[in-house]
Structure 1
Amino acid sequence: MPRLIKMNAILKKNQGFEGVNMMINQNIAGLPSWDQTIAMTLQVISERDLWKRNDLRKVVADQFNLPEKTRNRTYPNNPDVPIVESRIGWTLSDLAIGGLITRPHRGVYQITDLGSQMLSKYGKHLTRNEVYQLPLFQEHQREVEERRSRKATMSQASENTTNDPEDIFNLLAQKTKDYNIEVTTKLRQQIIDSDPVFFEHLVVKLLSKMGYKGPNGSATVTPISNDGGIDGIINQDPLGTSTVYLQAKRYSKDNTVQRPQIQSFYGALQGKGAQRGVFITTSRFSPSAADYARRFSIVLIDGLTLTDLMLEYEVGVQVKHDYKLYEIDDDFFNLD
C-alpha cells in the first residue's frame, strides 16, 4: 500500500498551504466545517494519482491535527464513522459534482485537470462558493430543482417551528425527500459514467425487482453481437407466453431521445411479434418521441424516473438510516 501522506509533506508543496492547519477556522464543536474541508481535501487528492475512499477520508481528517477526542467524535446514531470523516465524504461528493475530481473505479478518486487548475488558482482559499459556481454543479442544481418540481416537494416549512407532532412529522418527511432528491441526482450521474453493458444489466434487474418478471419468470440481457435492437428480455412466466422487451440507452443528460429511435425500437418489437416494450434512458425524451410511444403502447422511463424507481425498489442503493416515530398505543391502556 502506498505510504500515507504526512502533513509536513503537504506543507512543503508550493500551493499556498503553508501553516494551513493553523489558519483553518473551526466550528464551535472544534471540527472543521464542510466548507473548510474543500481545499484540504483537494490538496490531498492531488498528492497521489488514485485514492481509495476510506483511505482518503482518514488522511484528510488527520491533516487538521484535531485532539483525539474531537477526531474520533461520532454521531449518536452512526457510531461507526467519525463526524469529521463524514463531512469529508460530503466534500468529496461536492468536488465530484463540480468536476474537480473523478471516480475512475468504484470507491476510487482522482483529481481532474479542472481540479488542478482550481487548486492552483485558489489554494487554501478554495471554498464551496467557488465550487458551486462551476457549470457542472449548476447543472446538478437545475436537475435537483426539476426533480422537486416533478414531485411538488418544495419545502414550505416555516423557520418558526413548533412542537406540534404533525409539524414535526411533516418536517422530517420533507427533509428526507430533499436528501433523497440529492441522492437520486448523484445516482443518475454515476449511471451515466458507468459502462453501457452495466446499464443494461441494471435496468433488467430493476424491472425484475418491480415485479415484471413474476414469481417464476426469467430476465436476461441479450448478447451485444446479436441483440437486434433488444437489450433485455423478461419472461413473466416459465413458458414465456407473456414477454416484455427492453431497450436501454445510457446517454448524457443533454442527449435527448428522438422519435426515430422509438420508431426503430417499435420495429424491433414487431420483428419479435411483441406487443409490449419498455424504453429506458438516462436522459429524456422529446415530445414527438413521447407521442409516438403512447400511440404504440411503449412505456418510456427517463433518467429522473429511473433513479426515483431505483430508490423506491432499492436497486443500487441501501438504507442509510431508519428513524422511528412513536405514538402512544391507546388500545394498550383501554381496560374495557
Structure 2
Amino acid sequence: MDYKTLKLSKDGMPTWDAMLPIVLKTAAGQKEWTRKEIETASADALGLPEDLRQKKYKNSLGNVIENRVDFALSDLSIVGAISRVRRGVYQITDVGKKLLETPDNINVDYLHSLPKYQEHQAELNTRNQRQDIAEDAGDEKEADDDVAEQIFEKVSAYNNKVGSELLDRIQSGSPTFFENLVVQLLISMGYQGPNGTAQVTQATNDGGIDGIINQDPLGTRTIYLQAKRYKKDNVVQRPQIQQFAGAIHSHNGVFITTSSFSAGATEEAKKSAIVLIDGIRLTELMLKYHVGIQTKRKYELVEIDEDFFEE
C-alpha cells in the first residue's frame, strides 16, 4: 500500500484514524502481536520511508507513527475488534475479523457508532461531568481562554481516558488481583497508618470480608473491605450491603465494586455507615494516589518571580 493515498497530516504522515484499517488488517496476519511488533508491521505495510518512521514530536518524547498506531489500537480495542490477551500482547477477535469483511466500515464514524464505543463514551462523559470538565476539552478553544485552565482540562480529559482503560483492565483481571488492588489502594491513601497492618483475607464464609486494615498495632481501629469485580451491568443491590454490614458488626466498612450501586444499596450503606466506591470512583482514586499507573510526562507552567525584580 502507498501511504500517500491515505489521509495525511501536515507533516505528510498518515493520521491516526487512517491507521485503523491498516492496524486491523495487520493484526489478522498472525495469532498474537506485541505492541512493538504491530507498530513495526503496520509501518511496513504502508511502505513508510525511514524519515517518517523516525519522526518524533517536537518535544522528542515520542515517535509519531508509533503513537498513531497506538491510538488506532486503542479505538479497535474499545470496540472489541482487538483484545489484550496478556501483558503487552494483542490479537484480533471475531469482531475484528467480521469488520475486515466490510473494510469501508473501518473508520472513526462507524466504530464510534457501535454500542461498545457508545458505552465507553458515556462513561467518559460521566467522569468529565464529575470533574466539571467541558465536553470539548479535547478540542481547540478560544485564544483568549486562560491557558492554565485549558491545560488542566486537557490533562484531566486525557487522564479520564486512562481511568476508563484502567477499569477495563481491572475487570479482565482475576478476583484475587482485585482484592489485592483494593487493599493496596487504601494503603496508598494512608489508611494503614505508620504502624498498622493490611491483609487480604482467605476465602471463607465470612459474609464477604476480602481485606482487613488495622490502623494501629493493637487493632483498635479496623477497616473491613469487600471487593466485588463485577461487569458494569451487574449492579450491587441492597441485600449485599446488608450481608456485609452483618459481617462487620458495626465496624468501619468499605465496599468497592467495578460496577455501581442501586439506590437501595446506597440507602442501606448510609444506615450502616459503610463507604461505597463504584468503578468510576475507584479509578479516580487510583489516578490520584498513583496505583496501577505511572507518570508519562511532566510539563512546567512558569510565571515571573516578582520578588526577584524588586529593587
**CA shift digits 1:118-160 (9 cap, x unpaired):** 011116x621222111111110011111112222222577843
Give the match for residue 108 of structure 2: 128
Question: Shift of the alpha carbon at 1:224?
Answer: 2.2
Pick from 283, 286, 298: which aligns with 2:262?
Answer: 286
Q: 2:284 aligns with which of 303, 308, 313?
A: 308
Partner of 1:224, secondary structure, is coil
Alignment of 1:1-336 (within 5 A): 19=1, 21=3, 23-79=5-61, 81-122=62-103, 126-155=106-135, 159-162=141-144, 167-225=146-204, 228-270=207-249, 275-335=251-311
Gaps of 5+ in 2: none
Letter in 1 for 2:72: T
CA deviations 1:16-43 (Å, max 9, x no partner) are xxx4646323222111101110001001
Q: Rate the CA distance shift 1:78–1:303 in 2: closer, same or farther, 3 A.
A: farther
Shift of 1:78: 4.1
Aligned length: 309
* Deviation at residue 227 of structure 1 after TM alignment: 5.1
8 A Cα contact 2:207 2:244, kept in partner:
no
d(CA) in 1 for partners of 2:12 and 2:136?
Answer: 33
Check whether the contact 2:125–2:135 (CA below 8 A) recurs between aligned residues. no
Structure 1 pair 238–109 and aligned structure 2 pair: CA distance change class (3 A): same
The question of whether the paired residues in 1 share the 8 Å contact of 2:235 and 2:261 is answered with yes
Q: Percent identity?
A: 47
Q: Secondary structure at the match of 2:128?
A: helix
Deviations 1:238-266 (A, max 9, x none): 22221111000000111110000001111
With the length of structure 1 as denominator, give the TM-score of the two structures: 0.88
Decide which moves more: 261-270 or 145-154. 145-154
CA RMSD after TM alignment: 1.8
Q: CA deviation at 1:174?
A: 1.0
CA contact (8 A) 1:101 1:109 kept: yes
User: Over alpha carbons, which structure has the higher Rg?
Assistant: 1
Q: SS of 1:140's equivalent?
A: helix
Q: Distance in 1 between matches of 2:2 and 2:243?
A: 59
The verdict on how the C-alpha distance between 1:135 and 1:43 changes in structure 2, with shifts beyond 3 A counting, is same
2:38 and 2:47 map into 1 onto residues whose CA distance is 15
- State the distance in 1 between where 2:288 and 2:306 align: 32
Task: Choose 225-234 or 149-158, whichever is displaced more.
Answer: 149-158
